[in-house]
Amino acid sequence: QAKDLGGAEHCGFEPSLHALAEEQRQLEDSLRSALDNDEFELVYQPVVDANGETVVSFEALLRWNSRLHGHVSPAKFIPMAEETRLILPIGKWVLREACKRAMQWPPHVMVNVNVAPPQLLEPGFAKMVEEILDETGLPADRLEIEVTESVFLSDATVARTALESIMSLGCSVALDDFGTGYSSLGYLRTLRFSTIKVDRLFVQGAAQGNRESLAIIRAVVAMTESLGMTTTAEGVENADEAALIRGLGCTKIQGYYFGRPMAAREAISMLHREATQRSRIA
Ligand code: C2E
Ligand code: MG
Ligand code: MG
Ligand code: MG
């Protein structure tokens, strides 16, 4: 009897599979025209040095404000863009837009751009990066491309070659969300990543007293140091977490505590405020 009840009730609460598929299809349709409709925006989240005093970079994060669906989370539309390969034109727009913006910042501030596996694996990706750098005038050493370990899953050789090409342009490459995927220490041996980004999962865990998270961050810091790479802790939300991360020796910090992702204009204001403060101290 309980089984009957549960089954029937449950059905009433779940949107039907058909409705889900329909929603998915509509979202995909809208995504197809989002670039032409000017529905994308980049927001910028500061990455600060371990002291929390200097903005060393901004990570460009994509936002989609759809006419039809309102704000759609990147967690929802990025995978969809990857599956449909719409990430190729969208990603190119992101790269160009982010490089243009970075040209408005002081030269010591870098820009971080996320690149999804289909983008990196597309023939001519490095060439496209080179063209956009030429076109915008951004020096290659001010661009850091962020990839996750998942780029090595489908074709590791192509991924490696593409990353090496980007590095030979003079760009940096960061390994994003480190520790959440299929961690592949082998790639660290031969690819010159500049930064390992420690996922928020570990930062949160360590702050909550989870010994395994703490041990993992320690190990990543030690490893990156001896490999001549830097570490960025992601998702630092409060002063306690910032102090902990600083104590553990991470090189850079990113998170709501130091700044939420913000509009391009606000990012510039933040840099202005920082410059003013610095000249006051000097
Ligand atoms: P990600 O590259 O790991 O970016 C960091 C995510 O953590 C961002 O979510 C950011 O808003 C969020 N975050 C930063 N600090 C905090 C914090 O203190 N607390 C919490 N709870 N969250 C924090 P967002 O913007 O929703 O982006 C999610 C993911 O979508 C990104 O993860 C990235 O994988 C992907 N993504 C975003 N923009 C792009 C893009 O232009 N291209 C590609 N290919 N992927 C993108
Ligand atoms: Mg990222
Ligand atoms: Mg990340
Ligand atoms: Mg992350």
Kindly write down the DSSP assignment for every residue of the chain, as one continuous string.
-HHHHHHHHHHHHSPPHHHHHHHHHHHHHHHHHHTTTT-EEEEEEEEEETTS--EEEEEEEEEEEETTTEEE-HHHHHHHHHHTTTHHHHHHHHHHHHHHHHTTS-TT-EEEEE--HHHHHSTTHHHHHHHHHHHHT--GGGEEEEEETTHHHH-HHHHHHHHHHHHHHT-EEEEEEETSS---HHHHHHS--SEEEEPHHHHHHHHTT-HHHHHHHHHHHHHHHHTT-EEEE----SHHHHHHHHHHT-SEEESTTT---B-HHHHHHHHHHHHHHHHHH-
**Nearest ligand, measured from the Cα of 57:** 2
Using the atom order of ligand 1, give the atom closest to the CA of residue 256. 18
Residues near ion ligand 3 (CB < 5 Å) are 176-177, 234
179 Cα: distance to centroid of ligand 4 (angstroms): 10
- pLDDT of residue 235 exceeding 80, the answer is yes
Mean pLDDT of 107-111: 98
- Averaged pLDDT score across all residues of the chain: 93
Cβ–ligand 1 contact at 117 (below 6 Å): no
* Nearest ligand to residue 254 Cα: 1
Instruction: Report pLDDT for 2.
Output: 42
Which of 15-19, 74-78, 151-155 has maximum average pLDDT? 74-78
Q: For ligand 2, an ion, list residues with CB under 5 A.
A: 114, 146, 176
236 falls in which pLDDT band (50, 70, 90)?
very high
What is the pTM assigned to this prediction? 0.94
Residue 74 in contact with ligand 1 by CB distance below 6 A: yes
pLDDT of residue 279: 84
Percent of the chain residues topping a pLDDT of 90:
84
Instruction: Flag whether pLDDT at 119 surpasses 80.
Output: yes
Residue 114 beta carbon below 6 angstroms from any ligand 1 atom = yes
Quick one: which atom of ligand 1 is closest to the CA of 254?
15
Atom of ligand 1 nearest to the CA of 236: 18
The pLDDT of residue 150 is 92
pLDDT of residue 99: 99
pLDDT confidence bin for 184, thresholds 50/70/90: confident
135-151 pLDDT per residue, tens = 999 999 999 999 999 99
For ligand 1, whether the C-beta of 130 sits within 6 Å is no
Per-residue model confidence (pLDDT) at position 106: 97
Query: Is the shortest distance between the CB of 116 and ligand 1 below 6 Å?
Result: yes
Residue 5 has pLDDT above 50, yes or no: no
Calculate how far, in angstroms, residue 175's C-alpha sits from the geometric centre of ligand 3: 8
| Mean pLDDT within 168-195 | 90
Q: Is 176 in the pocket of ligand 1 (CB under 6 A)?
A: yes
The confidence score (pLDDT) of residue 10 equals: 52
Mean pLDDT calculated for residue range 270-275: 95
- Which of the two residues, 11 and 132, has the higher pLDDT score? 132
Q: Mean pLDDT lowest for which of 183-192, 193-202, 249-258?
A: 183-192
User: What band does 20 get if pLDDT is binned at 50, 70 and 90?
Assistant: confident
Per-residue pLDDT band at 19 (split at 50, 70, 90): confident
User: Does residue 174 have its Cβ closer than 6 Å to ligand 1?
Assistant: no
